[in-house]
Chain A
Amino acid sequence: MSLPKQPFAVFSSFWKHRTLIVSLARRDVLGRYSGSFLGLLWSFFNPLLMLSVYTFVFGVIFKARWSPNESAGILEFAVALFAGLLVFGIFSESVNRAPSLMLQNPGFVKRVVFPLEIMPWVVLCSSLFHTAISLVVLALVMFLGLGALPATWPLILVVLVPLILFVLGISWALAALGVYLRDLAQTITIVTTVMMFLSPIFYPASAVPAGFRWAIEWNPMSFFVEQARAVLIWGTFPDFAGLAAMAAGGLAVAWLGLALFQHARDGFADVL
């Protein structure tokens, strides 16, 4: 297995094929709503409705509060949950779709010379579009409901960069393996669901009994969920050292994932 010359090969094919990626991602976003009456508006209404439901169920019915602080309103739990889900969504959407990416596009694999390695980028761009809309919804709700946005909001970009690298690396690896192991698509859905419950999305990390902390700490998504919530909800600075370490790790994962993908792609056309 030969590694691409430099880790930055991860970005070079993105830059080279950016028009193709953007145009495929646009189709991916629009295709989801094709034929529906509200069209693209769904990607705005969907997060808004979910946020309302969380507020009602968790804030009003369960009377759940994130912090023991009595002054916290019914909205607090909902926005904290929403922020966690939003970050986890970037991971789960790409990773769940990765194993079947090649299987669903046999024409690109077999019949034309296509830069197959851009497919994870396409899925990622499409899910980042939905994330951006959800962030807008979150900002609106927080501004109207809580009166102000923390000044640390723009730092969400710093949190997302290492996450994106991890997601790309895992997507490349799964996209390549999924061609040979058809069961992977089913398995991965279960794995991401388990990871969702084993990261502090529905509960604060502090609520986990000390003896079970390891169950969520092995999960890199726990780190990203906590960091995103820090900058979006609590208005505290993220763990910059941790993020830098994660970025280095993410770059390594992306590089290895791409190398695995490029190594395995020779056989795609034979198997499909």
Chain B
Amino acid sequence: MSSELVIHAEGIGKNYRLYATPRDRLKQLFASPKRKYYREFAALSDVSFDVKRGETVGIIGRNGSGKSTLLQIACGTLRPSAGRMTTRGRIAAILELGAGFSPDFSGRENIFLNGYIIGLTQQEIEARLDAICAFADIGDFIEQPIKTYSTGMVVRLAFAVVAHVDAEILVIDEALAVGDARFVQKCMRFLREFKERGTLLFVSHDTSAVSNLCDRVLWLDAGRVKALGPSKQVCELYLENLLEAAQGASREIDAPRPTIARDRVAGAPARDQRLDVIQASGHRTDIEIFEFDPASASFGRRGARIADVRIEHPHGERLAWAVGGETVVVSIDVEAIEPLDSPIVGFLVRDRLGQNLFGDNTFLTSHDNPLRLAAGDTARARFEFDLPLLPPGNYSIAVAVADGRQQDHVQHEWIHDALIFRVETSSIRHSLVGVPLRSIGFDLLEPPR
């Protein structure tokens, strides 16, 4: 195994013995190896793959395809019945909810317990305790027994622990399915940062999360490797396979592809003609907007402070509910704590995976004529735009105030998840964002003569 390989799996197989009654299990213990009182069930057969240092590999597959078994073998909690799994470096894992936690211990005691299990010393854990508690962010519950926690709190604590043990290999199994939007954003930020230095094995049903986060994907089907390759290709194959299973194989087109005419209307103001219909239907993009959270994760020199972030109607009322396609204003109030020569205020909309969707800042608008702020001044930046059509899910708006130029500036305050909004229903399903289309035509063509 070269030093670059951190996980090396060679012909991994795992068979479970299924006994009809407990008595058969006892008989087998004393029987000669030739007699078999069990049926064998192969959870994994002949799975081989390599993971290099720093790679992120996703594992996808339907329920029961052997994903979790494979992860357990990688972590060393299960022995393969065939083949060999070699790993190099400290592994931290979130395999199942609350795994490795003792329900009667308090959150703090469980942090120590988990730390010892992973191999940290008492001093090392004490040094990390504050950071872990801050990441988990469950307040006084840290002193309560784990059995009083909600599932969301257990995941928070589990993630906080594995995020702080300096693991070289991180194994995450479906852990992000629970947990609120702000915490998922925090985890995604952590995973993106972790990818820079460590190796990540990531299991999820969410193929867009997998294809976005992972370099390569291993697709397991009934315990065998169905595909292993670049994440985009494998995820597409997998989705295709899921659809085929649901609606039968897709038919190949043998006739020449008919062209679909598109009307082109030039010059008219941007207006999606379907909007009126969509807005009146159940496909309307309904967006629920949550309150500004000034306590959300942030960084910066703090020479200025973000005082408030709102989504408003162009006339100025604060919105708690918006509809895709509507014109809205993102309004950001900043307060200068020290004098700022040429402040820039900006925002960035991210989806649930932490991908940057769109955003803008005041630099181009104000760079010829910068708005100078004295200490104590308050200024308001307003960004008016048509809300795009977004697929359902949680979104976050990061806002920032800086001083200087776009290329060379001092970040005074950057709040990661200043505002969370949730898209409840939408006509968009398969893309990151929908743009208002001017028109769509679909007409029968005269047959060519």
Q: Which of B25, B96, B98, B116 contacts A23 (CB 8 A)?
A: B116
Task: Say yes or no for A207: interface residue by CB 8 A criterion.
Answer: no
Q: Is the CB of A19 within 8 A of B100?
A: no
Q: Is the CB of B113 within 8 A of A23?
A: yes
| A107 surroundings in chain B (CB, below 8 A) | 98-102
Size bracket, chain B contacts: 20 to 34
| B96 surroundings in chain A (CB, below 8 A) | 111
Q: Looking at the assembled complex, report how far the CB atom of B85 sits from the nearest CB atom of chain A, in whole angstroms.
A: 13
A sample of 6 more A-B contacts (CB under 8 A), given A23-B112, A107-B98, A111-B95, is: A34-B104, A107-B100, A111-B72, A112-B93, A113-B117, A271-B25
| B117 surroundings in chain A (CB, below 8 A) | 20, 112-115
Task: Say yes or no for B79: interface residue by CB 8 A criterion.
Answer: yes
| B17 surroundings in chain A (CB, below 8 A) | 270
Q: Looking at the assembled complex, report how far the CB atom of A217 sits from the nearest CB atom of chain B, in whole angstroms.
A: 32
In chain B, what residue has the closest Cβ to A266? B79
Task: Say yes or no for A63: interface residue by CB 8 A criterion.
Answer: no
| A113 surroundings in chain B (CB, below 8 A) | 75-77, 91, 117
Q: Looking at the assembled complex, report how far the CB atom of A152 sits from the nearest CB atom of chain B, in whole angstroms.
A: 38
Q: Is the CB of A19 within 8 A of B105?
A: no
Task: Say yes or no for A31: interface residue by CB 8 A criterion.
Answer: yes
Task: Say yes or no for B109: interface residue by CB 8 A criterion.
Answer: yes
Interface residues of B (CB under 8 A from A): 16-17, 22, 25-26, 29, 72, 75-79, 91, 93, 95-96, 98-102, 104-105, 109, 112-114, 116-117, 121-122
For the complex of A and B, 5 pairs with smallest distance between CB atoms: A111-B99, A112-B100, A20-B116, A266-B79, A113-B76
In chain B, what residue has the closest Cβ to A34? B104
Q: Is the CB of B122 within 8 A of A112?
A: no
Q: Is the CB of A111 within 8 A of B77?
A: yes
Q: How far is it, in angstroms, between the C-alpha of A20 and the C-alpha of B102 when the chains are bound?
A: 13
In chain B, what residue has the closest Cβ to A108? B100
Q: How far is it, in angstroms, between the C-alpha of A104 and the C-alpha of B213 when the chains are bound?
A: 38
Task: Say yes or no for A181: interface residue by CB 8 A criterion.
Answer: yes
Q: Is the CB of A19 within 8 A of B77?
A: no
Task: Say yes or no for A182: interface residue by CB 8 A criterion.
Answer: yes
In chain B, what residue has the closest Cβ to A26? B109
List A8-64 residues whose CB lies under 8 Å from chain B. Answer: 17, 19-20, 23-24, 27, 31, 34
Task: Say yes or no for A3: interface residue by CB 8 A criterion.
Answer: no
Known: A19-B121, A19-B122, A270-B16. A111 touches B25 (CB 8 A): no
Q: How far is it, in angstroms, between the C-alpha of A155 and the C-alpha of B17 when the chains are bound?
A: 52
| A182 surroundings in chain B (CB, below 8 A) | 22
| B102 surroundings in chain A (CB, below 8 A) | 27, 107
Q: Is the CB of B104 within 8 A of A31?
A: yes
Q: How far is it, in angstroms, between the C-alpha of A269 and the C-alpha of B116 when the chains are bound?
A: 21
Q: Is the CB of B116 within 8 A of A17?
A: yes
| B25 surroundings in chain A (CB, below 8 A) | 180, 271
Q: How far is it, in angstroms, between the C-alpha of A182 and the C-alpha of B77 when the chains are bound?
A: 22
| B91 surroundings in chain A (CB, below 8 A) | 113
| A109 surroundings in chain B (CB, below 8 A) | 77
Sample of 24 A–B contacts (CB below 8 Å): A20-B116, A23-B109, A23-B116, A27-B102, A27-B104, A27-B109, A107-B98, A107-B101, A108-B100, A110-B77, A111-B77, A111-B95, A111-B100, A112-B75, A112-B77, A113-B75, A113-B76, A113-B77, A113-B91, A269-B72, A269-B78, A269-B79, A270-B16, A270-B17
Q: How far is it, in angstroms, between the C-alpha of A199 and the C-alpha of B208 when the chains are bound?
A: 69
| B78 surroundings in chain A (CB, below 8 A) | 110, 269-270
| A34 surroundings in chain B (CB, below 8 A) | 104
| B109 surroundings in chain A (CB, below 8 A) | 23, 27
Binary B-proximity of A92-123 (CB < 8 A = 1, otherwise 0): 00000000000000011111111100000000
Q: How far is it, in angstroms, between the C-alpha of A110 and the C-alpha of B100 when the chains are bound?
A: 9
Q: Looking at the assembled complex, report how far the CB atom of A144 sits from the nearest CB atom of chain B, in whole angstroms.
A: 38
Q: Is the CB of A180 within 8 A of B104?
A: no
Q: Is the CB of A27 within 8 A of B100?
A: no
Q: Looking at the assembled complex, report how far the CB atom of A117 sits from the nearest CB atom of chain B, in whole angstroms.
A: 13
| A270 surroundings in chain B (CB, below 8 A) | 16-17, 78
| A180 surroundings in chain B (CB, below 8 A) | 25-26, 29
| B93 surroundings in chain A (CB, below 8 A) | 112
Q: Is the CB of B26 within 8 A of A181?
A: yes
| A269 surroundings in chain B (CB, below 8 A) | 72, 77-79
